[in-house]
Structure 1
Amino acid sequence: MEMDDTPNAEARRLQQNAVKDVPLAKWGPYLSERQWGTIREDYSQNGDAWNYFPHDHSRSRSYRWGEDGLAGISDFYQNLCFAIAVWNHKDPILKERLFGLTNPEGNHGEDVKELYYYLDNVPSHYYMRYLYKYPQPAFPYLELIEKNKQRSRQEPEYEILDTGIFDDNKYFDVEVEYAKKTDTDIFIKIRISNRGNESAPISLLPTLWFYNRWQYGGLKERPLLSLVDNQTVKAEHERLGSYFFYFEEASALLFTENETNSEKLFGTPNAYSRVKDAFHEAVINNDLKLVASQNEGTKFSPLYQLTIEPGTSKDIYLRLSDQFVQTPFEENFKDLFNLRRREADEFYASVITENLKPELKNIQRQAYAGLLWNKQYYHYDLERWINNSDGITPVSDERLNGRNHNWKYLKNQDIIVMPDKWEYPWYAAWDTAFHCIPMAMIDPVYAKHQMILIMREWYMNPQGQLPAYEWNFSDVNPPVHAFCAMEVYRIEKENKGTGDISFLKKIFQKLILNFTWWTNRADINGNNIFEGGFLGLDNIGVFNRSNTPAGVILEQADGTSWMGMYALNMMDMALEIAVHDPSFEDSCTKFYEHFVLIAEALNGLGLWNQEDQFFYDMLLINGSTTMPLKVRSIVGITPLLAVSVLSKEKLQQLNDLKKRMGWLKEYRMHNNMYLPNEENAHQDLILLSLVHKDKLVKLLERLLDESEFLSPGGIRALSRYYGDHPYNANIEGAQFHVQYDPGDSTSGLFGGNSNWRGPVWMPINYLIIKAIHKYYAFYGESLLIDCPRGSGNQMNLKEVANFLTDRLISIFLQNDEGMRPLYGMYNNFYNRAENKELVLFHEYFHGDTSRGLGASHQTGWTALLTCLIRDSI
């Protein structure tokens, strides 16, 4: 077998991908981990996605908008899919996909109830590893549902490790490893290890199937999988062409159709004698006749019936290729896995700082793996979805005028880095922006493509709004895209030595549309105080901020601060471009003036509480009465995030901006008006910030107070003070209540599956730390602060930023007893030899213990940790 062993071959492959229209490999981990229960598959009249297409239907019912599977891959358009299924000879169903609770079933919302890990991946996906832990006793489906149903919101979730099913090591490690020979020739290794002390049976079904586009007229001809010989199947597809699936000798060869079992689910006749769940019926009932007597279909699997001795492993090899070969598993084919693994090591050696401790390198490597494994094919055409039936439920007025009906121009069909391919197998605007920052460390071209993609005409609406997330595209997320675009630009510039000005120009034009939408939509009173609404912070407020009480306008400290940050980020972007293209100088001036007006409003119209020395949201009731909502939360910390440091030397190159800034400075000082500029006579720098030094110090004192925001694992979203002193407010006769919740949400807002009332969130911590670094760039050693507050330990702001970074890193590090805070009560399991190096990247973390919470694989924004580690060195 001919192999390329060029040093850092992965970097060379990325250079080849970079010149493509879409800088991606043709094959990758693009298969979702949950297609059921999504809005795309919901054709109900009442919008109940969880019950319209439940998990129990997923093995028997063909999907409309995509496919899902376990440890799977697909081509770019998901025409052909591969994933594994396993059976422990005790479960009532095949394990074809990850199981979890729906939002109504979970006591804190939807939640996957499986143990699986993204071990490795590279951007071209020439090498990938995935680990799934499968119990040998019957999987506790009903126990997980019933126990969580019995628990209140005040109790923790009942997890699979709570069932005791893994206590005696009676489980299999199922590791799936992919190594590409070329982008369209993929070798697959499945290693099943028995971790128990007794021999145990397991059936393995490495499954190949076609996404069912034909049932809705998406294809002219039905694709076909057909048997060539007892170790080869041919796949023929009008769009994809021909592929060959090679496999080792199996116990049986099974064929069926990826068609709905209508008779079972709906009591109507099946269109085909073999349907989607035929393998399930055949293997579980030990009746293979129907599926093993065929030699063609749209779904195929060789069946391996294995018995694995204790402490041993069994390897199964397969190959998926666009080439027909007589000897698919030549003598040295296993060397390919070693080569690709070595190439992955070489690639990450060039990305991850060399002098890091091995444990930190392992954490970063798995963070990048999770980021890459969360790439997913996403297909959603709103107009077709609203106006057509799925063949089960007819089109109704409720659907024609229901969810997302005003987004008919949204037509998505792309590979997107998802927050979590099980819990959030759909993009969210601000998640996607944050994902691109760590992605820029390993694949900057794809990161830039993702940033621009979300702003293309088939995503952004004609007024300039970005789609929030599929449950409600019209909701609003914080406008962080200009900040994230500049982070992506700077990371690439730092790594390559040159910045991509063309990228900045492209995204700048799109961001102008979005900025205009924000200013037209979210400033009702025209006073540069912004309402915003939801803003992605879910239940942090006294009430649902997307639905204020009648007669009440909520003027938001964070909405206003996000817009101040947006204006400043746009100014920074225009400044960077203007050095190369003077025509952008006017934009620098425009956004600087926007920033000045927003800063004046934030500091002069009542959002700063002089008594408490903190920013609060303000209610305007019936157009006359004002009422501050005196809750110390991240809402009042966000003014820190809007900060930029300008070089006077750079300003000299931009005469128009220099003149305008000088005029505004004189005018505002003469008229005793707020000016967000600060200059240091000893430095060639200008600081632009929403807060002057006195307010900065006061906010940092709160931030670094362990009785308030500072936790063992970073900055909390809500002050710990409200644990013993809940906040109560009477608004127009209605009572509202906020209490510090360090862990899972005790509120039912947004399904109860998200909580900003105490836990640590990585993206907010990232923004805070990056801002503090900027303040240090201006103040240097002239500003020292107690860190933690009351410790007497005086630090400069760079030291403060690194201190906060260390606290975030500590969540993932093993302590002296080998325990990682992120695993909490489950550390005994992760102390076993085979599990010691496994790391998960959760959605957020407990405000007191740092235990991982929320979506257990939301690596996207939690992978920001990799950038913080690099910055702190």
Structure 2
Amino acid sequence: MTAEHQRLQDHLDLKVNWKKWGPYLSERSWGTVREDYSPYGSAWEYFPHDHARSKAYRWGEDGIAGISDRNQYICFALSLWNHNDPILKERMFGLAGPEGNHGEDVKEYYYYLDATPTHSYLKMLYKYPQAAFPYADLVAENRRRGFNDFEYELLDTGVFENQRYFDVFVEYAKADTDDILIRITAHNRGPEAALLDLLPTIWFRNTWSWGYDAGPMDDVPGRPVLKKMSDSGGGAVVHLFHPAAGDYYLFADTLSEDGQPRLLFTDNETNTERLFGRPNGSVYVKDGLHRHVIGGEPNAVNPAGEGTKAAVWYSCQVPAQGSCSLRLRLANSTLASPFADFDSCFDRRLAEADAFYAAIQRDVGPEQTAIQRQALAGMIWSKQFYYYNVEQWLHGDPEQKDLPASRTSGRNHDWEHLNNFDIVSMPDKWEYPWYAAWDLAFHAIPLALVDAEFAKRQLNLMGREWYMHPNGALPAYEWQFGDTNPPVHAWGAWRVYKIDAKQQGRADTHFLEGILHKLLMNFTWWVNKKDDDGRNVFQGGFLGLDNISIFDRSAPLPTGGHIDQSDGTAWMGFYSLILLKISLELATTDPVYQDTASKFFEHFLRIAQAMAGAYRGGMSLWNEEDGFFYDTLHMPDGSMTPLKVRSLVGLMPILAVETLEHDLVESLPVFKRRMNWFFENRVYLRDQGHLACVKSPGKNARRLLSIINRERLVRVLQPMLDEKEFLSPYGIRSISKLHLDQPYTLSVDGLSHTIGYQPAESTSGLFGGNSNWRGPVWFPINYLLIESLQKYHHFYGDSLKVECPTGSGQMMDLGEVATELSRRLIKLFLRDGSGDRPMYGGNRQFQDDPHWREYVFFNEYFHGDNGAGLGAGHQTGWTGLVAKLIQQSGGWNEKTKS
């Protein structure tokens, strides 16, 4: 067992709280729903970036390369100034949703380079220009551009020309659970010496300004304080006292022989005078460091050396091609020689991180090893302290006066039970600094590779009564908790359960049983709320695929009526089968779950029959002429129209597949008897030629449960594997390329609605305009398609082969097709024959520069033709699934990658 594995075990056994401190600081708290107290839910406008340096956050802090304790009582992050910027760089800058031509977008370059799951070692890189940061230029130019234009990026402004920037590496190493070593190294990549001020900053989350005696959670009985201490060793020491967290000490080493670093103190309180023209409640306010360092205001910081926010101010003249390095240490006890073992501790923790990943990556090739480790680092760095009490938020704090009455009937008013105070995996800590339930299920898969217990905890959270709605709905995301996302939570739980069992050599049935009971409530909510006519054909609405439909499926249709959704119905078939598998697994040790398994067996058959053939007067979602599944539009006059868009919506039925092992069925007599009863007594469910016949055994006498029979599967795979339609060099597109020249148009009541192939960013503002499901490649659905093909292969074996790519004459079994899709997805991040990574497109700085080319972004989605990364740049979340793809195809020969 490696040292890091032992730390994980000690944490699990409640011996040592190794995860007390971690990378839990958000990268953006401004512009979030939690901080929005406006009348009409205009979060971006209510709390813009310009307010962030001056206004205290109510619900959580943010910073650059930061850490906090799990309750976020104490925060630490890096602040910088290049002697040209108009403001102190305390947080990442980006465009608000209304400012970007494709929605919100961070305009910085930073990379998560390394991390262990107990955060015993963390490393991050931030690239800081030496010229004045072009805040106004980025806003103005992106606002000028339209949906069809490229985004105006930081590199486009010219601030990185001639290598005039700093590479700032921030590393953390834990000597113990409450003893954290911090190393900050700034490299000047430019041709001339340059000034750089580094201000490692420590502060308390504000719990005292809201009118409560002991904070909003009644857990902080008093006001915390930071105080300057003397240090005879030439460095600087800050003493922290927090009523709930206790005493800590921040030790700051000298930079050189120039003497002791300067300590600056202020308070984490709102500058009401600057923002609202009202007198400040505190002499020293949140933007005091900015005003003192850049504005030269001597009275902006507290000369008494105390406050609730402090920074250690280092001013460095960094030589051309040279560097400077800082050493700090945060501990819960005084240390006589805080830096005596500093370097050796860092060396030890890095060596332990290497050993940990070496144990995980035994079968992974060298280039893929680096990609996988960065992906997993991103997953770990994307943990965030998430605090949101909807009841308090709706009604306000005692100190808040005259809140608009519209709030009590506005956003999330029907989720007053929701009270979150946890460490949660984020999709992206800048662009999406809030959890999304369906993203989280995918996050859990790569997280399980390094920390299955954390992955299980994440999945369990969503089912807790302070998350899940009393009616059984899972919270979608803070912008609208009631939105409907694909029901993938059961799948995530099942996959993590299996990964964990393989790792540990034993199955955690307590986890599986506990989460099943929550999932039963959620399944019932789906059945009761999303099947309009009781025909087992589901609507669902949004379903996570944003703009994939010709209509906004979250809103009432402009035509009236409703849509029977191919993906909504397929998702429910998928959901039923996963719950069937979970029930059968539990039934092996507790026979009572055979009844539950029978319930989901019947549910699946009814959903499959309704989808694959006309049922109770409906229209089949299968189109025999086209060999494809389509949504059906139901008009108010009773007419029905298939929406013939070739998109992922029509491929979703492939996902609804499972195999039943012969020996398992034989060992469960109650389930077997009821299954056979269905065969004998429900002929209309059994003998439909369009369903896979569960009675016919396949490879090793397995049984197949699938919405699609063999003939239809082959027909659907034909366009899916056609490079002129869905199959791109880098995975399956979200809409067929056929619609590039043949867009689909529906005319209703004199209005035309059109959808076409858009391989890059969205060309509309639908769902904020910052994502696009009309052509690009998305990892989550590609991953599920790969897994489903493996299941079909598990049943059909070599007896079923298809052309891949379509028209190539090359025949593959479905296991080989799954491997080919995995290869194409992994290829996004690997250098091709010309040395380029497809995901960086034509950006030569990323492709060629030795200080950029080794680092990888894990984008939200990828160009449908050339593979260029698009959308959120740090959405390691579900794109982190590449780590699992690499793991399960570890024997793949990298020489064949092109």
Smaller-chain TM-score range? over 0.9
Could you tell me which amino acid in structure 1 is paired with residue 836 of structure 2?
M
Alignment of 1:732-811 (within 5 A): 732-811=749-828
**8 Å contact from structure 2 (residues 101, 146) kept in 1:** yes
Which residue of the partner structure matches residue 31 of structure 1? 25
Match of 1:404 in 2: 412
Q: Return the offset for 1:595.
A: 0.2
Separation in 2, partners of 1:471, 1:129: 31
1:561 to 560, 564, 570: 570
Which residue in 1 is equivalent to 2:622? 608
Q: Does 1:430 align with 2:438?
A: yes
| Matched residue type, 1:245 | L
Contact 1:254/1:294 (CA < 8 Å) preserved in 2? no
Q: What residue is the counterpart of 1:583 in the other structure?
A: 592
Q: Which runs of 5+ in 2 are unaligned?
A: 255-259, 615-619, 892-898
2 CA distance for matches of 1:22 and 1:439?
A: 21
Secondary structure of 1:39's partner? coil
Larger displacement relative to structure 2 (623-632 or 568-577): 623-632
Quick one: structure 1 residues 76 and 650, their matched pair in 2 at CA, closer, same or farther if it must change by over 3 Å? same
**RMSD of aligned residue pairs (Cα, Å):** 1.5
Q: Using the alignment, how far apart are the partners of 1:682 and 1:347 within structure 2? A: 38
Q: Are 2:82 and 1:83 equivalent residues in the alignment?
A: no
Which amino acid is the alignment partner of residue 653 of structure 2? P
Change (3 A) 1:670 1:237: closer
Is 2:381 aligned against 1:373? yes
SS of equivalent to 1:165: coil
Q: Which residue among 471, 493, 500 is the counterpart of 1:463?
A: 471
SS state of the match for residue 461, structure 1?
coil
Question: Is the 2:845–2:852 Cα contact (8 Å) retained in structure 1?
Answer: no
1:4 alignment counterpart: none
1:677 aligned partner? 693
Q: 1:309 to 1:594 in 2, by over 3 A?
A: same
CA distance in 1, matches of 2:330, 2:270: 26
Q: 1:95 to 1:682 in 2, by over 3 A?
A: closer
Q: Which amino acid aligns with 2:680?
A: E
Q: What is the CA-CA distance between 1:433 and the residue it aligns to?
A: 1.0
Structure-1 separation of matches of 2:320 and 2:703: 67
1:390–1:753 CA distance, 2 compared to 1 (3 A): farther
Cα distance in 2 for partners of 1:48, 1:728 equals 33
Counterpart amino acid of residue 509 in structure 1? H
Q: Which of 395, 415, 419 is residue 387 of structure 1 equivalent to?
A: 395
The offset of 1:58, in angstroms, is: 0.2
Deviation at 1:817, TM superposition (A): 2.5
CA contact (8 A) 1:377 1:415 kept: yes
Instruction: Tell me whether 1:667 sits opposite 2:681 in the alignment.
Output: yes
Aligned CA distance change for structure 1 residues 23 and 853 (closer, same or farther; 3 Å): farther
Alignment check: 8 A CA contact 1:252 1:292 kept = no
| 1:64–1:390 contact (8 Å) kept in structure 2 | no
Cα shift readout 1:46-73 (whole Å, capped 9, x = no counterpart): 1100010000000001001010000000
1:64 counterpart residue number: 58
- For residue 331 of structure 2, what is the aligned residue in structure 1? 321
Letter of the 1:680 counterpart = P
Cα distance in structure 1, aligned partners of 2:794 and 2:298: 70
Which residue identity lines up with residue 478 of structure 1 in the other structure?
Answer: P
Structure 1 match to 2:887 = 870
2:849 to 832, 835, 851: 832
Measured after TM superposition, the shift of residue 730 of structure 1 is 1.6
Which residue in 2 is equivalent to 1:109?
Answer: 103
Q: Distance in 2 between matches of 1:696 and 1:673?
A: 18
Distance in 1 of aligned mates of 2:539 and 2:15: 39
Please give the secondary structure, in 2, of the residue aligned with 1:536.
coil
- Mapping 1:111-126, distance limit 5 Å: 111-126=105-120
Distance 1:407 1:670 in 2: 41
Which of the residues 105, 130, 148 maps onto 2:124?
130
Q: After alignment, is 558-567 or 862-871 more displaced?
A: 862-871
Matched, 1:173 2:187: no
The question of 1:650 aligning with 2:632 is answered no
1:345 maps to 2:339: no
Q: How many residues align?
A: 865
Equivalent residue in structure 2 for 1:571, among 577, 580, 587: 580
Task: Specify which of 267, 282, 285 is matched with residue 277 of structure 2.
Answer: 267
Give the Cα separation in 2 of the matches to 1:840 and 1:584. Answer: 44
Q: Deviations over 1:692-729 (max 9, x none)?
A: 00110011111100111001110000001111111110
1:671 and 1:618 map into 2 onto residues whose CA distance is 22
**TM-score normalised by length of structure 2:** 0.95
SS in structure 2 at match of 1:834? coil
Matched, 1:625 2:639: yes
Query: Which has the higher mean CA deviation after the structures are superposed, 289-298 or 570-579?
Result: 289-298
The Cα of 1:19 is off from its aligned counterpart by 3.0
Deviation of 1:643 (Å):
0.6
Q: Alignment partner of 1:406: what SS?
A: helix
Unpaired runs of 5+ residues, structure 1, are 1-6
1:140 and 1:682 map into 2 onto residues whose CA distance is 62
1:432–1:592 distance in 2 versus 1, CA, 3 Å: same
Change (3 A) 1:355 1:681: closer
Q: 1:536: which partner in 2?
A: 544
- The amino acid of 2:176's aligned partner reads T
Shift of 1:860: 1.0
Q: What amino acid is the match of 2:639?
A: T
User: Which of 296, 310, 317 is residue 320 of structure 2 equivalent to?
Assistant: 310
The aligned amino acid for 2:190 is G
Match of 2:239 among 234, 244, 252: 234
Q: C-alpha separation between the residues in 1 aligned to 2:646 and 2:285?
A: 56
SS at match of 2:538: coil
Q: Match of 1:540, as an amino acid? A: I
Q: Secondary structure at the match of 1:215?
A: coil
Amino acid at match of 1:13: R
**1:10 corresponding residue in structure 2:** 4
Equivalent residue for 1:689, pick from 706, 724, 735: 706
Alpha-carbon distance in structure 2 between the residues aligned to 1:593 and 1:450: 30
2-side partners of 1:701 and 1:748: how far apart?
33
Answer yes or no: is the 8 Å Cα contact 1:44–1:393 preserved in 2: no
Equivalent residues of 1:86, 1:203 under 8 A apart: yes
Q: Separation in 2 of the partners of 1:616 and 1:202?
A: 58
Aligned to 2:617: none
Distance 1:733 1:437, change over 3 A: same
C-alpha distance in 1 between matches for 2:727 and 2:348: 45
Q: Structure 1 residue runs of 4+, over 6 Å off?
A: 21-24
Q: 1:212 aligns with which of 191, 203, 206?
A: 206
Is 2:226 the counterpart of 1:225? yes
The equivalent residue for 2:286 is: 276
Equivalent residue for 1:144? Answer: 138
Matched residue type, 1:347: F
Structure 1 residue 667, shift from structure 2 partner: 3.2
Residues 782 and 96 of structure 1, relative CA distance in 2, 3 Å threshold: same
Distance 2:775 2:649 in 1: 12
Per-residue CA deviation, residues 611-655 of structure 1 (Å, 9 max, x unaligned), is 111000001111510000000100000000011011111101111
* Counterpart Cα distance in 1 of 2:773 and 2:322: 45
What's the counterpart of residue 265 of structure 2?
255
Instruction: Give the partner amino acid of 1:850.
Output: G
State which drifts further: 192-201 or 222-231.
222-231
Distance 1:390 1:28, change over 3 A: farther
The amino acid of 2:806's aligned partner reads: R
Question: Which runs of structure 2 are paired with 1:40-55 in the superposition (5 Å)?
Answer: 40-55=34-49
**Contact 1:214–1:220 under 8 Å retained in 2:** no
**Preserved CA contact (<8 Å) 1:435 1:861:** yes
In the alignment, the residues of structure 1 paired with residue 652 and residue 635 of structure 2 have an alpha-carbon distance, to the nearest angstrom, of: 24
Identity of aligned residues (%): 51
In the superposition, relative to structure 1, how do residues 24 and 425 fare at CA in structure 2: closer, same or farther (>3 Å)? farther
Give the secondary-structure state (helix, strand or coil) at the position aligned to 1:234.
strand
The farther-off stretch of 769-778 and 141-150 is 141-150
| 1:20 to partner: Cα distance | 4.0
Corresponding residue SS for 1:795: strand
User: Is contact 1:83-1:207 (8 Å) kept?
Assistant: yes
The residue type paired with residue 538 of structure 2 is: F
Instruction: Please name the residue that 2:833 is paired with.
Output: 816
Structure 2 distance, partners of 1:564, 1:670, is: 17
Question: In structure 2, how many angstroms separate the alpha carbons of the residues matched to 1:608 and 1:22?
Answer: 56
